[in-house]
Structure 1
């Protein structure tokens, strides 16, 4: 692939060190907690792809609907020559934007999976022979140095992943994105919206039990990587709506009193019956609240699109100061 370049910014041992730190810190505190990024080994990624096809899980379909309907409008607003995607994965949804951007020169996918970056680049270069792909093997939640590419840039953060960050983490992340943007650049971000509790809970606790298996997969990761002896079936999958915080919480609840050995950490973790590990929060947003969070980071929301049912939103924001002309938010 002559038009493919890969820059590695992750140390080969960084993931192991981070997992050790997260497990040691998270399982020795009260309440216990594990970061959701450890769901996504090969099996976890397969399970998540299965989740996106479930009837209860609307966010992927809703976001794709907006992209299909609004891709040309997004392209016209941004005029991007470089598309930067944070947490790019398979780059599947981004193809709608790439096809709609006539002046696009360079695509910069950012992901922690080298195989996902290479696979997506293969597919995109076959479809768009003139495209340049400069992939970054990096964790987008850490410091990020983008390559020199033509402007303007459109930074894309899809899937509602922003909701997995708690408010202080979101503020830090949005400030970091703001630092990437020059005049004329923009941020396109997907956010799931506040809606009926029954709809939200069902999306994270499907009837087939796929999300439950996905949640328990984090225990399999710890078993494999840290020589632990979790028995995943000893833990019940729990999904609930936190009305005060306006986010979904996924938890693993011990079915009985038990203890787990994590040999690589020389650690024994006791669990009382009913004790839980918080494995994920997924915040849901309102337009005014998101506008305020963006403004606090020096970003101005200039466009707002939703799917026809108003379940999910894509927002376009620019750095305060010279840039895109502010526009009235557009509903889906």
Structure 2
């Protein structure tokens, strides 16, 4: 049986430092924001697993349908000996790719959660004793230092997580990814597609209220880790479709005028009655737009796979040239104003 290996590229205190920086920056911005990665403590991860099973939430099912139907085609187009998965989590959907890659030697899951990587890695080795699993504790939005592994490599970024990045952030991310990929490597990118507004909004505002609880969990995380006194019941879960930018926004709307204290940051944050705290954007894509963003970062889109009903798309792309700057400065969306 191959050993499970884990490499940590983040300092032990990186998570705490990042949370402190994000909260300080986001809650002193106008409009106020918090990054969606802070939803995912143990309880938040459990809630998200429930969300993926809700009837309104189609992306996980749609992506799995594509992988189940087209994994062999993806495998034939890549001939990968190493699979690198960014934001791997439980590596559940990845098993469809693992089963389809006959020449696969090494799997490199990349995630900020060491516990998730360890649990998934040991499970995979038990199922596939011939597989070399080398987990990487890393923030995939920062420049990656990938371990040496056999090529060619397939880099998978699934779940449409790329939609949580603002346009300029997506450009920087894709360019940094292109910088570590070699000729013969392939990128598999999951993208949720633009569709009817009612379908999109329902996916983020389910009737059972699970997404609302998930959204408010970010306040619980800040309370626990930074000693804040957010009252989750003092905020309402709000979802809106931004047609101009073609993204969903999740927000927490203050039910009253209030002040929240965050002792660890020596910070007091005032909220007006009805003021919003944005906790997530989830951009939706069109095939032409994905092709443009990939090309600007130095990739050629070689294959495009749609789910039934055109709900979701998987893009297969190969490195074409060094990346260029995809967005002129005037077109970049500013996250917040200090």
Coarse TM-score class (shorter-chain normalised): over 0.9
Partner of 1:212: 212
Shift of 1:214: 0.4
Shift of 1:160: 0.5
- Runs (4+) of structure 1 exceeding 2 A deviation are none
Partner of 1:68: 68
Partner of 1:100: 100
Partner of 1:288: 288
* Structure 2 SS opposite 1:7: strand
Q: What is the aligned residue count?
A: 321
TM-score by length of 2: 0.94
* Structure 1 SS opposite 2:310: coil
Residues 182-331 of structure 1 mapped to structure 2, 5 A cutoff: 182-320=182-320
Unaligned runs of 5+ in 2: 322-338
Shift of 1:127: 1.4
1-structure distance, mates of 2:282, 2:217:
18
Residues 81-92 of structure 1 mapped to structure 2, 5 A cutoff: 81-92=81-92
2-structure distance, mates of 1:267, 1:176:
34
Q: CA RMSD in A?
A: 0.8
Partner of 1:31: 31
Shift of 1:3: 2.1
* Structure 2 SS opposite 1:188: strand
Partner of 2:149: 149
1-structure distance, mates of 2:34, 2:308:
35
Shift of 1:4: 1.1
**Do the aligned residues in 1 keep the contact of 2:256 with 2:274 (CA within 8 Å)?**
yes
2-structure distance, mates of 1:303, 1:212:
36
**Do the aligned residues in 1 keep the contact of 2:105 with 2:132 (CA within 8 Å)?**
yes
1-structure distance, mates of 2:23, 2:115:
25
Tell me the alpha carbon deviations over residues 267-310 of structure 1, each in whole angstroms, 9 at most, x when there is no partner.
11111100010100000000001100000000000000011111
* Structure 2 SS opposite 1:26: helix
* Structure 2 SS opposite 1:16: helix
Unaligned runs of 5+ in 1: 322-332
TM-score by length of 1: 0.96
2-structure distance, mates of 1:256, 1:91:
41
